[in-house]
Chain A
């Protein structure tokens, strides 16, 4: 039997690398019938280009223009709001790049204009598409996903609404569903019988202490049950003062140090951005929290935690323990205290 062709796609390059690494680890290489491709690269190559002449007379669309990277991104966004859909400048820069927040819109319209050729072609290429980190999808991506759900292709998408740290674009379309609210969009699609939602509220990675701590960030979502029953003698959430960090690192065998961004002061210790750590598993982590995170740790009020997805991701990287460097007497009564 002919091997079926499969696409595995996700938004961030970090995650893409992890997926590739997974295949290499399991089988030595990515099998020939499996394509691992970033969401944007897939959109451009298989969505935008093959039938672009149904949308514009212009030449080949070269690449994607990320508005965020423009000099005056705010102004540009405003300006674009006033270019009509009928004008291809709505989608394309002068140099024939396509705006990142219009890619999926372009594909949806192009599919309509060509009477479904875009999707038909994809159906002939791929039997299944696997999407990872679904919570990152936003704007017209959701419309395109719905079209894909209704195609002959089997779609399996996984995501964690609590980990919505990125967004594929900032289009105003479907804004009400952005980030952790993607769950309500999925519910709506499910009610049209286009998909089936399977909730998995189990964690293979984190122990129950970590799950409980993380769940409190999203009180509206169902609680998580840990499948990691392994105890090490230092399990759960801990608080440290600055002067304890050195000792802690050597005592607990170099936990992975996480920071919000490169601007975070990590006392000179080499650290990884929380965003980059997404999808990874570590034994133990040591987190340098932001001011809002600190506020949350003190008050327990999720609305004060700032970017709570980032905090959620940081904590849930660890199998056994997550320690915060807080330098605040009220939290750190004793050495390496647990909650």
Chain B
């Protein structure tokens, strides 16, 4: 099992550390924060493959972190060349007697640990060529990846023979279904490792026989006879067709799994994924079984996703699963305690939050937490009526609902703003709290001071008018009686009775306000929140 991942200069990550749980890990974060890159990096370090091909063939300047690439290129321009940046991916593994030969201190942390590292480094044998190149500084606009080599070592600094290691990796990427000729690589691997030696031999023999029978067919013989007459134009050799029986082509590349008699490629994307995930989960247990799943919710109907997630939960025992997701549903179903939040090259888990906040979210693992995590910006309000009014105010001002701009309005139950602010602080999220002043705005300010002091992204909006302690008196204070009567379809005689009515029918009134065509004035603290 992987204890820890370190990534340096790879894609979005400059220097990045991630601690993993032993069983289930759910990576959650905005788009472009590098969820997929983490899975890709783990796969790369364990298989030396990127996009299903060996990294040697996929080595491009774009693998390098932009910032480190720019630093380097700038230094060349200035004529003070810095050393070429290096990509390092390190996987720190749990102690395991079968992997002992991978133990050593040859990692960036100098830790005595079992591990695997993949490094993309300058190949010294190109030293002269490279020195020539940097003399002509104008020529370099990209990292010269052609001068790099791949090093794939254990933490003992010896080359890796991954086949001999009791480690299994399944990488299921639902965002892009990759199918090369025949069965795709991962599927092949899964099927192959699930068959025992006898079955594999039987399959190979049967496949070979099939090829022989093909060439014995009368029609094929006839065709080949005809083809033989075609020689002469280019070559004098006999031309014929046959199935490739060389070592290169074996059953794995030519046989295709069928599901209900449908070839695998013709099955819907979602089902293909689900099948791959299921196969990976059903694999024979080896000591270390690592499963990477990218956005399992993709291409799946809600009900199939539900089945799939249930399956993941049931089967994950003894396996380490790293899952990336955008779906609140997946997260909620798999458990908040496994959550790893990704944000700005940083990560946090619930462990980093204060103890009582952790407890709160474990007892009440609503979707709301994840809404906060996934939103670009969030407005926290006290209840459904505040939520409606704030949304209305936002729509009036911006002509769009807040959610259309990536701003999520979250109604926080039981006034647990501070719980959410603990997460917001940790994630450096833009969060606005819209709160009643409860007749003492200074007290409110005092309550939130620890948050506003430690983060300039947290903003508290409350009215400084202590005589209007909640939303309803605030609304009656800034709107004329006839406007409110019109909106509520009532005919109250004074401000006090409309206020009492609104207090008693909060949600109903808020809904009317939300739906009205009348122009209504919002209290300053709400205007401030939606700016």
Contacts and interface: CB of A to CB of B under 8 A. Distances in A.
Interface in A1-57: 2, 45-46, 49-54
Interface string A67-83: 00000000000000000
Interface in A279-298: none
A124 interface: yes
B106 A53 contact: yes
Interface in B141-157: 151, 153, 155-157
A121 B106 CA distance: 13
Interface of A: 2, 45-46, 49-54, 60-61, 114, 117, 121, 124-125
A144 to B, nearest CB: 18
Contacts of B103: 50, 121, 124
B204 to A, nearest CB: 21
Contacts of B215: none
Contacts of B151: 60
Contacts of A45: 156, 158
B105 A54 contact: yes
A52 B100 contact: no
Contacts of B105: 50-51, 53-54, 114, 117
Contacts of B156: 45-46, 49-50, 121
24 contacts: A46-B101, A49-B106, A49-B157, A49-B158, A50-B103, A50-B104, A50-B106, A50-B156, A50-B157, A50-B158, A51-B112, A52-B157, A53-B105, A53-B106, A54-B105, A60-B106, A60-B151, A60-B153, A117-B105, A121-B103, A121-B104, A124-B97, A124-B100, A125-B101
Given A60-B157, A124-B97, 16 more contacts: A45-B156, A46-B101, A49-B156, A50-B103, A50-B105, A50-B158, A51-B112, A53-B106, A54-B105, A60-B153, A114-B112, A117-B105, A117-B112, A121-B104, A121-B156, A125-B101
B97 A51 contact: no
Contacts of A2: 97
In this complex, the member of B100, B151, B153 whose beta carbon has the largest number of chain A beta carbons within 10 angstroms is B100
Shortest beta-carbon contacts, A-B, top 7: A50-B104, A50-B156, A49-B157, A124-B100, A125-B100, A51-B105, A60-B157
A326 to B, nearest CB: 51
Contacts of B97: 2, 124
A50 B106 CA distance: 6
Contact of A49 (B100, B104, B110, B112): B104
Nearest to A123: B100
Nearest to B158: A45
Contacts of A49: 104, 106, 156-158
Interface string B37-72: 000000000000000000000000000000000000
Interface in B83-103: 97, 100-101, 103
A60 to B, nearest CB: 5
Contacts of A117: 105, 112
Given A49-B106, A53-B105, A54-B105, A121 B100 contact: yes
Nearest to A48: B157
Interface in B259-311: none
Interface string B105-123: 1100010100000000000
Nearest to A50: B104
Nearest to A121: B103
Nearest to A125: B100
A50 B110 contact: no
B153 A53 contact: no
A7 B306 CA distance: 51
Nearest to B103: A121
Nearest to B157: A49
A46 B103 CA distance: 10
A60 B112 CA distance: 16
Nearest to A95: B124
Interface in B127-169: 151, 153, 155-158
A2 B97 CA distance: 11
Nearest to B154: A50
B106 A52 contact: yes
Contacts of A114: 105, 112
A125 B158 CA distance: 15
A54 B156 CA distance: 13
Nearest to B121: A59
A53 B151 CA distance: 17
A12 to B, nearest CB: 22
A55 to B, nearest CB: 11
A147 to B, nearest CB: 18
Contacts of A53: 105-106, 110
A148 to B, nearest CB: 17
Contacts of B106: 49-53, 60
Contacts of B104: 49-51, 121
Contacts of B100: 121, 124-125
Interface string B411-434: 000000000000000000000000
A125 B103 CA distance: 10
In this complex, the member of A50, A54, A124 whose beta carbon has the largest number of chain B beta carbons within 10 angstroms is A50
Interface in B428-447: none
Contacts of B112: 51, 114, 117
A128 to B, nearest CB: 15
A50 B153 contact: no
Contacts of A61: 157
B328 to A, nearest CB: 45
Contacts of B157: 49-50, 52, 60-61
Contacts of A51: 104-106, 112
Nearest to A96: B124
A61 B153 CA distance: 13
Nearest to B98: A2
A199 to B, nearest CB: 35
A53 B103 CA distance: 13
A61 B156 CA distance: 11
Contacts of B155: 50
A250 to B, nearest CB: 47
Contacts of B158: 45, 49-50
Contacts of A125: 100-101
A117 B101 CA distance: 13
Contacts of A50: 103-106, 155-158
A47 to B, nearest CB: 10
A206 B200 CA distance: 50
